[in-house]
């Protein structure tokens, strides 16, 4: 760790922060405060793609929307966005944004509106950028057909006792397969425009101001890359509408809060309404369905595979998450038609 702090030329006390499932994140408290992250190189095998995508976006925003706050990484002593330590792990450093906080669940219509507006503004402000300047930091990340195939593949290689434990969830996964067909048809129809989307719009990727409770900015820009608006809108539906998050074991607490759904849609459309086409708007109800399904499939596949992707703190956590998400999916399908 000293090696890494040295490489960036910073000093301070180190403590772990954050609740992400992928990277290791630390707060550095010193004369100035920073956020230091060790990038998960098993997930992001080409972390330079993230750095380049972010640089392209940041440059465009600086020229076209200088008022927009984009959390760009700080350079190491050699002028690089990423520092590779002696063991080959990539690290990056950000300024800590003081007096800010994140939330894991949405508690009010105001928060839903504000957070959704925050994510919408990112895509809106990047409207007009040359999408081909970006590369996919994770290939086929939200390709539902491919994620379904991965689930089937994990299932075909899983141990019998693991399959037995996940029986109900496997059944649920099969029962929603029609969403894959719907997705394929939608993509093939060409109705959706490839835009620059955030692709990980869970509510805890919005930074709020502690004093005003206004949105400061969207964070976690690892998957800022070409995508369809349904990916962003859908992951908001998935993480905003229920009063409990994906870790909740008691599925009876999962709810679809219509007032929160309406507020988030309004918030997202505030910046996006004028750029979305009428064809795109027809897919609004499908967004939450497809993104909740894709996450349920990914969590279940990871459980079947023996938990190789998401960070877990107890053995059945991915199964719990998948069960939670299938319950939520059922509610979303009932309420967003
Ligand atoms: C991961 O890193 P984190 O926790 O923000 C995942 C998302 C999932 C999410 C589920 C790169 O996001 O796709 O929606 O977990 N990110 C990656 O909580 O796989
Ligand atoms: Mg992430």
Contacts of 15 (CB under 8 A, 6+ apart): 26, 27, 29
Whether residue 129 is predicted with pLDDT greater than 80 in this model: the reply is yes
Where do the domains of the chain lie?
A: 2-96, 109-335
Confidence of residue 1 (pLDDT cuts 50, 70, 90): confident
pLDDT tens digits, 175-233: 999 999 999 999 999 999 999 999 999 999 999 999 999 999 999 999 999 999 999 99
- Gap between the Cα atoms of 2 and 251, Å rounded: 44
131 lines ligand 1 (CB under 6 A): no
- Gap between the Cα atoms of 238 and 29, Å rounded: 34
82 lines ligand 1 (CB under 6 A): no
| pLDDT value of residue 140 | 97
Q: What is the DSSP string of 134-195?
A: ---SSTTTT-HHHHHHHHHHHHHHS-HHHHHHTHHHHHHHHHTTHHHHHHHHHHHHT-SPPE
200 lines ligand 1 (CB under 6 A): yes
Q: How many angstroms separate the alpha carbon of residue 21 from the centre of ligand 2?
A: 7
Segment 298-302 long-range contacts (CB within 8 Å, at least 24 positions apart):
298/147, 298/150, 298/151, 299/246, 299/325, 300/151, 300/154, 300/166, 300/169, 300/170, 300/173, 301/147, 301/150, 301/151, 301/153, 301/154, 301/155, 302/154
pLDDT tens digits, 252-303: 999 999 999 999 999 999 999 999 999 999 999 999 999 999 999 999 999 9
pLDDT tens digits, 3-25: 999 999 999 999 999 878 899 99
- Residue of 17, 19, 20, 21 best suited for mutating to test ligand 1, as the one with most atoms within 8 Å of CB: 21
- Gap between the Cα atoms of 253 and 123, Å rounded: 32
* Ligand 1 nearest atom to the CA of residue 22, by list position: 2
- Residue of 47, 136, 202, 295 best suited for mutating to test ligand 1, as the one with most atoms within 8 Å of CB: 202
Q: Show the tokens assigned to 97.
A: 């944004």
pLDDT tens digits, 71-82: 999 999 999 999
Segment 56-59 long-range contacts (CB within 8 Å, at least 24 positions apart):
56/129, 56/133, 56/134, 57/126, 57/129, 57/134, 57/196, 57/221, 57/224
Q: How many angstroms separate the alpha carbon of residue 118 from the centre of ligand 1?
A: 18
- Average pLDDT along the chain: 97
- Gap between the Cα atoms of 231 and 213, Å rounded: 26
Architecture of domain 2-96: 2-Layer Sandwich (3.30)
| pLDDT value of residue 180 | 98
- Gap between the Cα atoms of 37 and 94, Å rounded: 8
* Ligand 1 nearest atom to the CA of residue 246, by list position: 18
- CA quadruple 95, 99, 105, 108: dihedral sign: negative
Which ligand is closest to the CA of 221, given by its number? 2
Q: Show the tokens assigned to 78.
A: 């050699």
In 148-168, which positions are buried (b, 16+ CB within 10 angstroms) versus exposed (e)?
bebbbebbeebeeebeebbee
pLDDT tens digits, 41-56: 999 999 999 999 999 9
Same fold, 2-96 and 109-335: no
Q: Nearest to residue 197, comparing CAs of 148, 142, 260, 273?
A: 142
Start-end of H helices in the chain: 2-8, 47-64, 109-125, 144-157, 160-165, 167-175, 178-189, 229-240, 258-272, 278-281, 284-305, 317-335
pLDDT tens digits, 147-185: 999 999 999 999 999 999 999 999 999 999 999 999 999
Q: How many angstroms separate the alpha carbon of residue 222 from the centre of ligand 2?
A: 6
Superfamily of domain 109-335: Aminoglycoside phosphotransferase (APH), C-terminal lobe (3.90.1200.10)
């Amino acid at each position: 760790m000293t090696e890494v702090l040295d490489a960036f030329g910073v000093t301070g006390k180190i403590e772990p922060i954050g609740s992400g499932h992928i990277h290791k994140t630390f707060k550095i408290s010193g004369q100035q405060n920073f956020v230091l992250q060790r990038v998960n190189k098993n997930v992001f095998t080409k972390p330079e793609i993230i750095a380049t995508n972010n640089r392209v976006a940041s440059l465009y925003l600086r020229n076209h929307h200088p008022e927009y706050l984009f959390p760009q990484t700080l350079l190491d002593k050699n002028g690089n966005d990423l520092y590779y330590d002696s063991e080959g792990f990539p690290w990056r450093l950000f300024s800590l944004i003081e007096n800010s906080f994140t939330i894991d669940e949405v508690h009010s219509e105001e928060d839903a509106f504000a957070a959704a507006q925050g994510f919408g503004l990112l895509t809106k402000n990047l409207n007009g950028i040359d999408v081909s300047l970006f590369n996919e930091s994770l290939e086929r990340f939200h390709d539902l057909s491919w994620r379904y195939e991965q689930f089937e593949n994990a299932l075909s290689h899983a141990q019998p006792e693991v399959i037995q434990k996940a029986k109900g969830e496997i059944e649920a996964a099969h029962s929603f397969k029609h969403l894959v067909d719907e997705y394929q048809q939608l993509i093939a129809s060409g109705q959706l425009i490839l835009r620059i989307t955030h692709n990980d719009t869970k509510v805890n990727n919005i930074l709020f101001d502690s004093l005003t409770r206004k949105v400061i900015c969207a964070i976690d820009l690892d998957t800022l890359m070409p995508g369809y608006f349904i990916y962003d809108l859908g992951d908001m539906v998935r993480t905003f509408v229920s009063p409990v998050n994906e870790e909740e074991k008691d599925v009876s607490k999962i709810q679809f809060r219509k007032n929160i759904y309406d507020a988030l849609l309004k918030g997202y459309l505030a910046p996006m309404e004028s750029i979305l086409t009428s064809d795109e708007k027809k897919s609004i109800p499908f967004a939450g369905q497809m993104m909740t399904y894709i996450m349920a499939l990914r969590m279940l596949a990871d459980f079947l595979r023996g938990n190789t992707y998401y960070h877990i703190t107890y053995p059945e956590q991915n199964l719990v998450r998948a069960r939670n998400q299938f319950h939520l999916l059922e509610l979303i399908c009932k309420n967003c038609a």
